[in-house]
Amino acid sequence: MAKKKRHIIEGVAAVALLIVCVITFGVIWSTKGHTTGAVRTVGSSEKFTEAELNDAIDALCARFETDFRGCTLKAVRYDEERSKASNPGGFREGHSIILLTDFYAPHFFGPSTTTSLGGGHKDYEWKLHKNDFDWEVDSWGYA
C-alpha cells in the first residue's frame, strides 16, 4: 500500500513539474523581444544623417521584438568603418547599412538563427537596406 501511494505521489510530482515547465516555456516564448533600455550608439557618418541612423535602429528594434522572443537587446551601434569592412561592395552605396548588437537570450530560447541558444551575444550583425522611405532588415547573424 505504501509503495502504491509513493508511486502516485511521484506521478503527481512529475506531472506538476511538466506543467510548470510548459507554462514557463509558454510565458517566455510568447513574449516579444525586449528593446526598451537598449543603449544606442550612433557614431559619425559621412553617408547617413543621425535621423536616418535612428530610423534604421528603429527598424532593427521592431524586427528584434517580433523575431527574438524572450531575448533582451542590450546595445545597438553603428560604426561606419566596420560597416564598410564587413561588406566591401556588397551593398548599394547610401541605401544599405550594417548595425551591430549585443543581446541576451535566455537558455534554451532565442533566435533560431543563432548557433548557440542562450547566453550573451556580442557584435551580432544586422544588414538593412532602405527602400524609398523605410529601412528593412535583410538578414542578421555572425559574419
pLDDT digits 0-9 by tens, 27-76: 555 578 899 999 999 878 888 899 999 999 999 999 999 988 888 999 99
The count of structural domains within the chain is: 2
Q: Is the pLDDT of residue 78 over 60?
A: yes
Surface-to-core class of residue 83, CB atoms within 10 Å of its CB (0-12 exposed, 13-18 middle, 19+ buried): buried
Range of 7's domain? 1-30
Are residues 26 and 38 located together in one domain of the fold? no
Are residues 9 and 39 located together in one domain of the fold? no
Sheet holding 39-42, edge to edge: 39-42, 72-78, 96-105, 119-130, 135-141
Are residues 50 and 111 located together in one domain of the fold? yes
pTM for the full predicted model: 0.71
Are residues 20 and 86 located together in one domain of the fold? no
The pLDDT value given to residue 76? 97
